[in-house]
């Protein structure tokens, strides 16, 4: 039916024939191209390719009713197919970009499974010749063909990193210099392994000096990294780690991933990473920033540093491997900074070739004959290859004079001639000239030192914000960097240290009570000394009571250093405050409690035996009482001296959980609390508390045992027992509570200080107020005669009541006797008067 189509009217509905792709043709079903001009609706054509080429794009097109063919927006091309030998990797995976068959223009990215390390290059490109670039096997064959074919070679110039690695490692065996124009692997920067290697293509680590310079410019000293697990990125990161360490910058977080970056990104978020360097391929970059969007690891608090050789729209490309929209991706990547090696001099400077970079570019485009540069392999590296030729030519010229001085020429070179190789090496190593790619200078490892372009994504498009020349350490800054916040963010959450101080109202209130207690102690001490000759006071062992009063005042004085902290004194003076706390409280307790314990101890010793009646008649020698107090005081003094001599108190700072302020600030508050402590604080406290605790418990026991004893030798022992009960209970409760509440300065101070105040008040009131009351109410002031009439013991004593009763009865009898005597005298005088007149009569 199709044989008459050529005679159809021009008004017949159908589609005009279209041109086949280059290096291909069209298969017409049932017809040849010469037989047709217009093809009917629904007619299908099929593209075919010549030789070892395959169709990329739509292979079949169908005629539509509107006279057009299907999928005309998608081009169909015939491309050479590269061997599939490189499309699989044992213990790893190969990712093709773009996906599909390995045709010319395809890039294969290699990565290893967990636990394996990639050896060799991590990327291969399918060239327009239908071969994989940088084929080490092919390179080995060509190398030996060159070496064993005339003429003799002086310099080898490989292209990619894989071939350069093989050639440079073998070249020293033949004394050959290797100069590469397209190798970027950091592994090639190893003079021991590649002693004669140079390259005009900068190492992938050249990004790192630029990154370090930017960190310094923005005053960042803490960064984080996340990398894809491949050799090139691992080597780059190792180099970066060394450089930032030399610059005094810390890598706080280092994360890596193989295929899924979700966990790595979460770890960055959890560890408060702010300045993040990302090293991964473009496909993985989309996965990373999709996770970045989910974790909200972007915005005014964060800055990302990426590689600059991604496509400008890499984050807009629809990728089935991620579940983020283009809007999500654009939001997450906004503001990130990229670094890219400059391969074409941005300045209009004529170099050694008498051409500017623009002149070179124009000449190159002319040679291409109108071909699309993006479809021309090696277009970007062309300036580097051009400068490599110039570097070699200048180096060879530089060797002429030194060789001539020794009677040699370059033509004398052979594979055993090390001297000529050394001259060429020296000449290349000292190369310095202006090329079309910029200043050509080699570092100590033979790698090119070039300028780096710095760009920032602003409003969805990349803007140039500066250049950095690592050879000159010169940063050219345009000043057009834009930040989401007021400026570059901080490299970490700013932590503000804030010391917790004691409440001044609480300190003032307790200090008032302590001060009044000291005044009360002074009154009690004065009273006791003033009335020391009163028999009732003498029978209470006044010198021990004086010690008790002094001890109470010392303990009360310890309240003031207990409340002094960094709010009142400088940190350098704080250890002195710690010493005052310890000594005042320790010696005060020893004097106050020790004197009371001595009384109760001797009362128990003398008056609770079987021969109690005999013992009661024995005099109590005062020196034994003073010796007992001295022993207790000496034990405390010696223990404090040993403690402070071996492990002195010093200031320590306790850190609490960081707190976020109520305002929306990028800061955290670090609460701090100062303590008096020593290296083995718990050990010392355990010894002291153990000893004091046993002493308190023993005091309670002795007070209970002597509660029914009556004696005039220590007439206030029952009041002493009452004071011991109160002091022991307060101390035994307060000591563990203050240890538990040590992190709460107000509560800890309140418990400790109030326990001291109450103990001192109770002791002074119980011991001295009854004595004052007795002497005031009964008028027993400094009267030795009155004191001799009194045999009272302590307050509420039955014997004392009996004595008082006898005294009252004695006074009444004396009055009766006096009255009887008076009446008797009156009667005698009356009788005498009545007898005298009778005698006169």
The full set of domain ranges for the chain reads: 2-80, 204-343+453-492, 503-645+697-789, 801-841
pLDDT above 70 covers a percentage of the chain that reads 88
Asked if residue 229 lies in contact with residue 111, where contact means CB atoms within 8 angstroms, the answer is yes
**CATH architecture of residue range(s) 204-343+453-492:** 3-Layer(aba) Sandwich (3.40)
- pLDDT, position 795: 40
pLDDT of 220 reads 94
Report whether pLDDT(782) > 70.
no
Averaged over 421-429, what is the pLDDT?
A: 91
In this prediction, residues 609-624 reach a mean pLDDT of 55
- Highest mean pLDDT (candidates 77-91, 106-120, 305-319): 305-319
| Span 758-779, average pLDDT | 81
* CA-based torsion, 591, 596, 602, 605: positive or negative: negative
Q: Which of 206, 182, 185, 204 is nearest to 468 (CA)?
A: 206
Between 778 and 774, where is the model more confident? 774
What DSSP designation does 103 have? B
Q: Could you tell me the pLDDT band of residue 121, with boundaries at 50, 70 and 90?
A: low
Q: What pLDDT does residue 296 have?
A: 93
- For 372, phi then psi, to 5°, come to -70, 120
Q: What average pLDDT does this structure show over 43-58?
A: 84
Average pLDDT, the chain: 81
Q: What is the CATH number of domain 2-80?
A: 2.10.70.10
Asked whether the predicted pLDDT for residue 666 surpasses 80, the reply is no
CA distances from 186 to 161, 190, 202, 447, 784 (A): 9, 8, 9, 9, 107
At 740 the pLDDT is 81
CB 303 within 8 A of CB 337: yes
Residue 840, pLDDT score: 44
pLDDT score, position 294: 94
pLDDT of residue 664: 58
pLDDT tens track for 408-422? 888 888 888 888 899
- Residue at token pair 């009854």: 770
Q: In this predicted structure, what is the pLDDT of residue 555?
A: 86
Say whether pLDDT at 163 is over 50.
yes
Q: Is the pLDDT of residue 338 over 60?
A: yes
Outline where 670-781 has alpha helix (H).
681-705, 717-740, 745-778
Helix then strand then coil, % of the chain, to nearest 5 = 50, 15, 35
Structure tokens at 631: 């022993």
Q: Using CA atoms, how far apart are residues 453 and 698, in angstroms rounded to an integer? A: 83
pLDDT classification of 762: cutoffs 50, 70, 90: confident
- pTM score, whole prediction: 0.54
Mean pLDDT of 827-838: 63
* Residues 208-261 pLDDT 10s: 999 999 999 999 999 999 998 877 788 889 999 999 999 999 999 999 998 889
b/e map 225-244, b = 16+ CB within 10 Å:
bbbbbbbbbbbbbebbeebb
Q: How far apart are CA 334 and CA 326, in angstroms?
A: 12
Q: Does the fold of domain 503-645+697-789 match that of domain 204-343+453-492?
A: no
Confidence at residue 156, expressed as pLDDT on a 0 to 100 scale: 87
pLDDT band (50, 70, 90) for residue 33: low
Quick check: 7 pLDDT over 80? no
pLDDT, one tens digit per residue, over 281-294 is 888 899 999 999 99
Q: 510: number of CA atoms within 13 Å, CB side?
A: 28
Question: In whole angstroms, what is the distance from residue 205 CA to residue 236 CA?
Answer: 5
d(CA 225, CA 239): 13
Please give the pLDDT value at position 330.
Answer: 94
**Lowest mean pLDDT, pick from 11-25, 206-220, 413-427, 668-682:** 11-25
* Confidence tier at 609 by pLDDT (50, 70, 90): low
Tokens read off for 476: 């050219």
CA-CA-CA-CA torsion sign (312, 314, 318, 323):
negative
Contact 186, 206 (CB under 8 A): no
pLDDT computed for residue 18 by the predictor: 83
- Indicate if the pLDDT at residue 182 is higher than 50: yes
Higher pLDDT, 602 or 791: 602
Given this model, what pLDDT does residue 785 score? 37
Tell me the per-residue pLDDT of 368-412, one tens digit each, with 9 for 90 and over. Answer: 877 766 556 567 788 999 999 999 999 999 999 998 888 888 888
Q: What is the pLDDT of residue 838?
A: 45
pLDDT at 98 exceeding the cut of 60: yes
Give me the pLDDT at residue 791, please: 40
Least confident among 40-49, 659-668, 726-735: 659-668
Q: What is the pLDDT of residue 393?
A: 93
The CATH classification number of 503-645+697-789 equals 1.20.1070.10
* Torsion, CA 208, CA 464, CA 310, CA 213, rounded to 10: 10
Model pLDDT, residue 503: 84
The band of 494, judged by pLDDT with boundaries at 50, 70 and 90, is confident
In this structure, of 159-163, 299-303, 457-461, the range with the lowest mean pLDDT score is 159-163
Residue 651 pLDDT class (50, 70, 90 cuts)? confident
Q: What is the mean pLDDT of residues 727-740?
A: 79
Question: Would you place residue 120 in the very low, low, confident or very high pLDDT band (cuts 50, 70, 90)?
Answer: low
Sign of torsion over alpha carbons 260, 261, 262, 263: positive
Lowest mean pLDDT among 88-97, 236-245, 301-310, 354-363: 88-97
If you average pLDDT over residues 690-713, what whole number do you get? Answer: 77
- Ranking 196-205, 498-507, 509-518, 811-820 by mean pLDDT, the lowest is 811-820
pLDDT for 183 beyond 50:
yes
Given this model, what pLDDT does residue 800 score?
A: 54
């Amino acid at each position: 039916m199709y044989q008459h189509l050529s005679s159809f009217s021009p008004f017949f509905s159908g589609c005009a024939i279209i041109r086949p792709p280059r290096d291909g043709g069209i298969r017409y079903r049932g017809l040849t191209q010469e037989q047709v001009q217009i093809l009917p609706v629904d007619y299908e054509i099929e593209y075919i390719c010549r030789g070892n080429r395959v169709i990329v794009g739509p292979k079949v097109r169908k005629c539509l009713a509107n006279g057009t063919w299907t999928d005309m927006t998608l081009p169909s091309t015939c491309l050479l197919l590269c061997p599939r030998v490189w499309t699989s990797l044992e213990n790893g995976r190969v990712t093709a970009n773009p996906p599909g068959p390995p045709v010319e223009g395809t890039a294969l990215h290699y990565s290893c499974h967990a636990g394996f390390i990639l050896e060799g290059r991590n990327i291969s490109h399918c060239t327009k010749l239908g071969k994989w670039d940088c084929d080490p096997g092919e390179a080995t064959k060509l190398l030996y063909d060159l070496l064993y074919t005339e003429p003799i070679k002086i310099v080898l110039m490989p292209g990619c990193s894989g071939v350069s690695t093989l050639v440079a490692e073998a070249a020293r065996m033949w004394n050959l210099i290797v100069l590469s124009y397209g190798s970027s692997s950091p592994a090639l920067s190893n003079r021991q392994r590649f002693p004669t290697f140079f390259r005009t293509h900068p190492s992938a680590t050249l990004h790192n000096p630029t990154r370090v310079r930017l960190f310094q410019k923005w005053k960042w000293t803490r960064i984080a990294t996340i990398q894809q697990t491949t050799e090139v990125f691992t080597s780059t990161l190792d180099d970066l780690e060394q450089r930032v360490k030399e610059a005094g910058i810390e890598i706080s977080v280092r994360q890596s991933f193989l295929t899924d970056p979700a966990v790595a990104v979460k770890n960055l978020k959890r560890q408060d990473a702010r300045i993040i360097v990302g090293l991964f391929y473009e496909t993985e970059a989309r996965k990373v920033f999709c996770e970045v969007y989910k974790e909200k690891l972007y915005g005014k608090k964060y800055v990302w540093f990426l590689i600059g050789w991604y496509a400008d729209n890499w984050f807009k490309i629809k990728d089935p491997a991620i579940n983020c929209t283009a809007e999500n991706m654009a939001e997450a990547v906004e503001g990130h900074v990229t670094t890219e090696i400059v391969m074409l001099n941005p300045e209009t400077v004529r170099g050694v070739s008498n051409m500017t970079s623009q002149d070179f570019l124009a000449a190159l485009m002319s040679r291409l004959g109108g071909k699309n540069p993006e479809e021309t392999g090696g277009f970007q590296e062309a300036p580097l290859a051009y400068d490599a030729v110039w570097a070699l030519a200048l180096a060879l010229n530089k060797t002429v004079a030194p060789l001539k001085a020794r009677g040699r020429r370059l033509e004398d070179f052979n594979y055993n001639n090390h001297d000529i190789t050394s001259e060429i090496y020296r000449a290349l190593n000292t190369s310095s000239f202006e090329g079309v790619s910029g200043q050509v200078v080699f570092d100590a490892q033979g790698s090119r030192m070039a300028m780096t372009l710095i760009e920032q994504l602003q409003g969805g498009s990349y803007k140039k914000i500066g250049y950095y020349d690592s050879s000159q350490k010169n940063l050219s800054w345009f000043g057009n960097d834009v930040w989401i916040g007021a400026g570059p963010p901080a490299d970490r959450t700013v932590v503000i240290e804030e010391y917790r101080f004691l409440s001044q109202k609480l300190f003032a209130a307790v200090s008032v009570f302590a001060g009044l207690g000291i005044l009360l102690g002074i009154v009690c001490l004065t009273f006791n000394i003033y009335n020391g000759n009163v028999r009732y006071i003498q029978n209470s062992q006044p010198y021990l009571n004086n010690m008790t009063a002094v001890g109470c005042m010392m303990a009360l004085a310890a309240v003031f250093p207990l409340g002094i902290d960094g709010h009142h004194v400088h940190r350098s003076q704080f250890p002195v405050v710690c010493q005052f706390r310890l000594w005042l409280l320790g010696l005060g307790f020893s004097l106050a409690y020790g004197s009371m314990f001595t009384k109760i101890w001797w009362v128990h010793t003398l008056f609770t035996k079987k021969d109690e009646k005999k013992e009661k008649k024995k005099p109590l020698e005062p020196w034994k009482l003073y010796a007992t107090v001295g022993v207790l005081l000496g034990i405390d003094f010696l223990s404090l001296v040993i403690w402070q001599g071996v492990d002195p108190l010093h200031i320590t700072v306790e850190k609490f959980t960081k707190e976020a302020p109520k305002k929306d600030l990028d800061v955290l508050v670090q609460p701090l609390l100062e303590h008096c402590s020593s290296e083995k604080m718990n050990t010392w406290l355990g010894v002291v508390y153990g000893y004091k605790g046993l002493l308190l418990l023993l005091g309670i026991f002795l007070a209970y045992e002597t509660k029914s004893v009556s004696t005039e030798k220590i007439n206030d022992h029952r009041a002493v027992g009452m004071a011991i009960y109160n002091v022991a209970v307060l101390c035994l409760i307060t000591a563990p509570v203050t240890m538990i509440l040590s992190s709460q300065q107000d509560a800890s101070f309140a418990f400790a200080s109030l326990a001291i105040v109450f103990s001192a008040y109770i002791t002074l009131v119980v011991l001295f107020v009854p004595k004052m009351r007795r002497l005031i109410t009964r008028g027993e002031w400094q009267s030795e005669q009155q004191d001799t009439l009194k045999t009272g013991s302590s307050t509420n004593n039955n014997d004392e009541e009996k004595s008082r009763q006898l005294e009252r009865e004695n006074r009444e009898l004396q009055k009766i006797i006096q009255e009887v005597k008076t009446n008797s005298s009156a009667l005698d005088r009356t009788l005498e008067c009545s007898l005298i007149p009778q005698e006169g009569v």
